[in-house]
A and B are shown apart, each in its own frame.
Chain A
Amino acid sequence: MTSPQPTTSVVLVTGVAQDLGARVARALAAGGDLTVIGLDLIPPRHELGGGEYVHADERSAILPRLMADRGVDTVVHLGLASAALGRAAAKEANVIGTMQLVAATQSSPMFRKLVIGSDAAVYGAYGQAPARFTESTPLRAADAAGLARDLIEREQYGAALASRRHDVVVTTLRLAELIGAGVTTALTRILTQSVVPRPMGFNPRLQFLHPADAVRALTAVIREDHPGVFNVAADDVLSVSQVLSILGRPGVGLPPSLRPIGDFFGGRNAVKVNNDQLALLTYGRVMDITRFTATTGVRPQYSSRRAVEEFAAFGEPGMLSSHRVDALIEQVAHVLSPRNARG
């Protein structure tokens, strides 16, 4: 299944205003052998390299004609509306957008591949979860709400296309939480509060993915054919306590019912913690990446720890940054040392 596909030549990437979409578009265009079209309603903040930006989204009426005129053969669906839009609008963009994007692919006779950038959030987070989710772990679709529900429905449109058209390759990548230099996600907004509110009495396991590794994984499945669903993450695991230690930020355990107080801690920069994130910070989420590495031969180069360390190094140092902790330990050592024995 790892034969290079010379037929990949015109790639449409959605969601290029977001960091990951822009990085993928640039990486694909940098090869020089592909035509890259970037789609988004918001103009990307950074250049797309050799890629071409089109001001449209998945629901735009021009999409079918664009596909046909440019002979798009590969669609990379990374666009995902955040909750900032409001729940109804985000759902509309994510679910109806994916439906219309899949419908529009029919206009291009050249179309042969759909790559969906999904998220580990489809698995949910709960006390009885397996230590590592495999691709065959049932998704908690019934309980899912909000963004997780959108993500599951996005994947379902891909699965439906794959079962309908056997000539089309559909690849879904479930990416772990992105972290690295300058990355901003819902989770990093919580973790960068000066005092991080967290559900008391839980120390969940987290797993991360560096954006460079996410781009590497996506380009691998764009350039080669690997149909199916794959988990993509760094293999190692960090507890929330470890992440906060690396970031040098104190955490404060709160009962989940006191979530408004948690918001209060953020002050002006208060972050609303939604149910998905609350579950993640209570139970954690770790994926099994055996299928992806065995099928594609691509191994993430950043460990979760290195990715978080890079994020910490580029961010503002926390209240408990390592030099302050060292100074504190020196003081404690001084107090505890036998006063007469040591000079």
Chain B
Amino acid sequence: MAEAEQTPYGDPLGFAEGEWSDAADPAEEFGEAPEPEAPNESPNELGHLLGDLLDLAARAMTRIKDVPPETWQEIVEDPLSAALQCADAIGVKWERSLEHTLAFARARLAGDYAVDEFGFDPEFTEVVLLPILRLLAEKWFRVELRGADRLPAGGALLVANHAGTLPLDALVLHTVIHDATGRHTRMLGADNIFDTPYVADFAARIGTAVASPANAARLLDNGELVTVFPEGFKGLGKPYAERYRLQRFGRGGFVSTAVSAGVPIVPVAVVGSEEIYPMLGDIAPLARLLGLPYVPVTPTFPWLGLLGAVPLPSKWIISIGEPIDTSAFAEPAEPGAPVEADPVAVMRITEQIRGRIQARLHELLAERPNAFPHLSDLG
């Protein structure tokens, strides 16, 4: 690797040549980035989008009216296979035969499945959740996964940008990596997830763990792919105008975790998640009242009620970067001082990784000038 000599830690990613120091000021870099539309043009773009969506809904209604009465008859006579056929038609590959479905129901009702010490339920995730998410990833967001072959065979810490009001990016990332490698990525989530009813239950079932050094070390020692979103709620809840501007990467706890576990850090850039729920405003008083991090106002929420929870069909690209060997960081700057205990060193490495992801986001955005291409193809 020729460029590896250019920076103290090498540049194994290869996509951020010489951009280490530039990335320190993301706002400035954002202005120069080949982003096609300025943020203040977004209402116009969104207006077109809404028109397209209404058109789509009208066409779907016409189709339902065109269903012949015999078909309705068949649905009444065999509701389960009709439902499964319907799911199949839109791309959800659930277990198809009645026998399999019943055997699955029987096993679930008898408690005959395994959960691990984090409460992760692989069977639920694979059989119930992933088929739905697969539909969302393949048909709705048309996710393009790049560089899946770069994922190391053993444990690794995946670091990704986080956006989209609801953490759909985490679920989609889990789905596409599972489908490419057969491995489940295990997310590290904020504390308050696990204090929130239903959210706690769901998060644990799909393999999320409380972000703590002990949990991260346990997962990485087991050879898992562990995903962190260092932007946290700051990233999820940022306004639409600030999309693709990475927030601060916390205190860089993930760097210390990877160094002490001796696993590589894999930077991941996700493009597309930032447009799914364009957050135009935040009803802060209501958020305070409900104890939520924010209450979003999007073009469709809360105006359309539950329909407003349907994410906008942006085009996604997920790019997995070259793993960064953390053993280079482990060499103490001063004798006897491990790098994970040195906040300055940790912050420097954190900023470098953040800069790489930011640079990669700009490259991908240049490749995908329109967030909502081929919307009419959906119908």
Contact = CB atoms under 8 A, between A and B. Distances in A.
Interface of A: 127-132, 134, 137, 199-205, 236-239, 241-246, 283-284, 286, 320, 322, 325-326, 329, 332-333, 336-341
Contacts of B105: 329, 332
A73 B118 CA distance: 42
A242 B200 contact: no
B118 A199 contact: no
A127 B210 contact: yes
Given A237-B115, A242-B115, A333 B102 contact: yes
Interface in B274-302: none
Nearest to A134: B214
Given A127-B194, A239-B121, A322-B110, 6 more contacts: A127-B195, A203-B205, A239-B119, A325-B109, A326-B106, A329-B102
Q: Main SS of the interface on chain B?
A: helix
Contacts of A202: 197, 200-201
Contacts of A200: 197-198
Nearest to A242: B111
Contacts of A341: 78
B42 to A, nearest CB: 36
A335 to B, nearest CB: 8
B119 A205 contact: yes
A207 to B, nearest CB: 8
A339 B109 contact: no
Interface residues of B, number: 40
A237 B117 contact: yes
A246 B108 CA distance: 10
A130 B210 contact: yes
B191 interface: yes
Q: Considering the complex of A and B, which 6 residue pairs feature the smallest CB-CB distances, nearest first?
A: A201-B197, A245-B111, A242-B111, A127-B194, A201-B198, A338-B78
A132 B108 CA distance: 25
A336 B79 contact: yes
- Centre residue among A200, A201, A286 by max chain B CB count within 10 A: A201
Contacts of B115: 205, 237-239, 242
A242 B77 contact: no
Given A127-B191, A245-B110, A132 B212 contact: no
A310 to B, nearest CB: 14
B117 A338 contact: no
Given A245-B111, A322-B110, A333-B102, A131 B118 contact: yes
Contacts of B201: 201-203
A239 B201 CA distance: 10
Nearest to A205: B119
B262 to A, nearest CB: 19
Contacts of A241: 111
Nearest to B106: A329
Interface of B: 77-81, 98, 102, 105-106, 108-119, 121, 191-192, 194-201, 204-205, 209-210, 212, 214-215, 218
A119 to B, nearest CB: 19
A329 B80 CA distance: 13
Contacts of A242: 111, 113, 115
- Centre residue among A238, A239, A243 by max chain B CB count within 10 A: A239
A205 B119 CA distance: 6
Contacts of B81: 338
A275 to B, nearest CB: 16
A215 B119 CA distance: 28
A204 B194 CA distance: 10
B200 to A, nearest CB: 6
Contact of B80 (A129, A201, A326, A336): A336
Contacts of B98: 333, 336-337
A205 B117 contact: yes
A246 B205 contact: no
B212 A130 contact: yes
B330 to A, nearest CB: 23
Nearest to B192: A127
A203 B112 CA distance: 16
Given A243-B111, A338-B81, A203 B119 contact: yes
A204 B119 CA distance: 7
Nearest to B108: A245
A128 B78 contact: no
B194 A283 contact: yes
Contacts of A337: 78, 80, 98
A134 B217 CA distance: 13
11 contacts: A127-B210, A131-B117, A131-B118, A132-B117, A202-B197, A205-B115, A205-B117, A237-B116, A245-B110, A246-B111, A339-B77
A128 B197 contact: no
A124 to B, nearest CB: 14
Nearest to B193: A127
Given A130-B212, A336-B78, A203 B204 contact: yes
A248 to B, nearest CB: 9
A340 B218 contact: no
Given A128-B194, A338-B81, A245 B109 contact: yes
A308 B204 CA distance: 22
Nearest to A253: B197
A76 to B, nearest CB: 30
Nearest to B198: A201
Contacts of B200: 127, 201-202
A322 B105 CA distance: 12
A246 B110 contact: yes
A340 B195 CA distance: 50
Contacts of A199: 197
A326 B106 CA distance: 7
Contacts of A284: 119
Nearest to A241: B111
A151 to B, nearest CB: 22
Given A130-B210, A201-B198, A286 B117 contact: yes
Contacts of A339: 77-78
Contacts of A236: 114
A312 to B, nearest CB: 10
Contact of A238 (B111, B197, B218): B111
A191 to B, nearest CB: 13
Nearest to A335: B79
Contacts of B117: 131-132, 205, 237, 286
B224 to A, nearest CB: 12
Nearest to B83: A336
